[in-house]
Amino acid sequence: MKIVDGKVFLSASDLSTHIACPQATFLNLEEAKGLRKPPVQIYGTLHALQQKGEEFERNYLEQLRVQGKKIVEIDKTSRRQALQDTMKAMADGADVIYQARLERNVWNGWADFLVKVDQHSKLGSWSYEVADTKLSRQTKAGAILQICLYSEILSELQGRMPEFMCINNPNGEQKFRVDDFMAFYRLMKKKLTKAILAPHNDYPDPVAHR
């Protein structure tokens, strides 16, 4: 979550955070406004899990290379340039786009992978679907919301909604039909937007430990 020129910009992590703990949305908003200091980062188990997740992601990337896929890796140094590079890779018909930059209105994020499929779009005889990697063997609601957001942004960039989206975890590939989850996704997106605009209740509701 960031505020630029008085406008709140949101990412997939803001959606997953809100479904897990609405109070955290308020805390993140205060931090974005400069009213609260960022939390102290405690390294250890969390850092180790992050490293394992990155390793799993890179291993999946190497599997795609072994399959002979034409892969374009997006440099994340500049967000504006990354978006331009992502759009060019889509227009050129790359088989796989790694770390694709996606932006639309106030929503933005980095999709692990965009995978080319044989479905017509304004790009040509092909289009793209979102693929994400997760270390967890259990797919959580936050992960579904993340790939729903990326699929929606992707639909506006390529002129058609992807039919499927997938999550690759240690159990293998899980494919989800995008239309099956869009109503839930739009509801949660609406709730997040409302929470940001509405007055805050200082007493948080209890949530399960995650």
Query: Which structural domains are found in the chain, ordered by start?
Result: 2-197 (3.90.320)
Question: Which pTM was predicted?
Answer: 0.83
pLDDT one-digit tens code per residue, 117-159 = 999 999 999 999 999 999 888 888 889 999 999 999 999 999 9
One-character DSSP codes across the chain:
-EEETTEEEEEHHHHHHHHH-HHHHHHHHHHHTTSSPPPPP--SHHHHHHHHHHHHHHHHHHHHHHTT--EEEPP-S-HHHHHHHHHHHHHHT-SEEEEEEEEETTEEEEEEEEEEES--BTTBS-EEEEEEE-S-SS--HHHHHHHHHHHHHHHHHHTS--SEEEEEETTEEEEEEGGGTHHHHHHHHHHHHHHHHSPP-SSPPP----
pLDDT one-digit tens code per residue, 157-173 = 999 999 999 999 999 99
pLDDT in tens, the chain (210 residues): 566 556 667 878 888 777 666 676 666 666 666 666 766 665 566 667 778 888 999 999 999 999 999 999 999 999 899 999 999 999 999 999 999 999 988 888 999 999 999 999 999 999 999 999 998 888 888 899 999 999 999 999 999 999 999 999 999 999 999 999 999 999 988 888 887 776 555 544 544 544
